[in-house]
């Protein structure tokens, strides 16, 4: 009898948990906020960067962009647009 009660309680718990889960928003797997539509400045005006700072460079269709590694480490991914296609830059 105790075994039947435990199985019933477990089944009820799974049913309740399943219905609660169905009502919740999808979990966010990434612990950071992506950068969408970044703004760029000329390299000569990038006073916030110094020589030892790392950047990831992307060049396509005659356009070259640099993404500071520190920004990528903090935000995880930058979603941007190059002349030919959209890109995602990650670190």
The pTM assigned to this predicted structure is: 0.64
Q: For the chain, what is the domain count?
A: 1
Answer yes or no: is 33 within a domain: yes
Answer yes or no: is 67 within a domain: yes
Give tens-digit pLDDT for 61-82.
999 999 999 999 999 999 999 9
Answer yes or no: is 18 within a domain: no
- Of the pLDDT bands very low, low, confident and very high (cuts 50, 70, 90), residue 1 is very low
Q: Are 11 and 3 in contact (CB under 8 A)?
A: no
Angle at 13 between CA 11 and CA 19, to 5 degrees: 100
- The reported pLDDT for the residue numbered 23 is 52
Residue (of 2, 82, 73) closest to 35 by Cα position: 73
Residue 9 has pLDDT above 90, yes or no: no
Answer yes or no: is 10 within a domain: no
* Domain coverage including residue 36: 28-90
Residue 10 has pLDDT above 80, yes or no: no
């Amino acid at each position: 009898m105790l075994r039947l009660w435990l199985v019933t309680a477990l089944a009820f718990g799974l049913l309740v948990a399943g219905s609660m889960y169905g009502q919740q928003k999808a979990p966010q797997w990434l612990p950071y906020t992506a950068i969408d539509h970044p703004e760029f400045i000329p390299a000569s005006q990038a006073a916030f960067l110094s020589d030892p700072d790392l950047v990831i460079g992307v060049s396509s269709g005659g356009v070259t962009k640099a993404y500071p590694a520190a920004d990528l480490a903090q935000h995880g991914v930058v979603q941007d647009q190059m002349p030919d296609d959209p890109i995602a830059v990650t670190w």
